[in-house]
């Protein structure tokens, strides 16, 4: 199932935050992305309804298997594309910003080709 770019960004953010925090809460996501907590709450409700996350009664957010799969795919794309752009001489901030855009629209075929070329 294909989800929208916004949902992919939220899932990726949850994954990244879970690497450095013992638990992830809506307020952490709002702070990381610079969004209002109310906007994040709506997004979390949608992700929960799509079974990409679970939320405990304490408000702790966890990725489900499907959510983690999507988050890891987007995160891998971001890391690889950003690295490639930096190797080509693009400054780190621009490479990161551009990777954020490209990671959502690049086809699996094109990404796999880039990945196979870089990893050779």
* pLDDT tens for each residue of 49-100: 999 999 999 999 999 999 999 999 999 999 999 999 999 999 999 999 999 9
Q: Do 14 and 29 touch, CB atoms closer than 8 A?
A: yes
**103 and 76 in contact (C-beta within 8 Å)?**
no
CATH of the structural domain 70-119, one choice from 1.10.60.10, 3.30.470.10, 2.160.10.10, 2.70.70.10 = 1.10.60.10
Q: Provide the residue ranges of all domains of the chain, joining segments of one domain with +.
A: 5-66, 70-119
Tell me the CATH number for domain 5-66: 1.10.10.10
- Residue-wise pLDDT for 9-60, tens only, equals 999 999 999 999 999 999 999 999 999 999 999 999 999 999 999 999 999 9
Sorted by sequence, the CB contacts under 8 Å of residue 60 that are 6+ apart come out as: 23, 24, 25
pLDDT score at 2: 65
> Which of 2-6, 33-37, 101-105 has the least mean pLDDT?
2-6
Q: Which of helix, strand or coil describes residue 107?
A: coil
């Amino acid at each position: 199932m294909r989800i929208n770019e916004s949902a992919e960004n939220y899932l990726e953010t949850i994954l990244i935050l879970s690497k450095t925090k013992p638990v992830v809460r809506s307020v952490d996501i709002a702070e990381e992305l610079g969004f209002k907590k109310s906007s994040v709450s709506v997004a979390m409700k949608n992700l929960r309804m799509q079974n990409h996350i679970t939320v405990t009664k304490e408000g702790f957010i966890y990725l489900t298997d499907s959510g983690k799969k999507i988050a890891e795919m987007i995160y891998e794309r971001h890391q690889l594309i950003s690295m490639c752009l930096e190797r080509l001489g693009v400054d780190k901030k621009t490479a990161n910003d551009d990777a954020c855009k490209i990671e959502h629209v690049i086809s699996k075929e094109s990404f796999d080709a880039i990945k196979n070329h870089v990893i050779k």
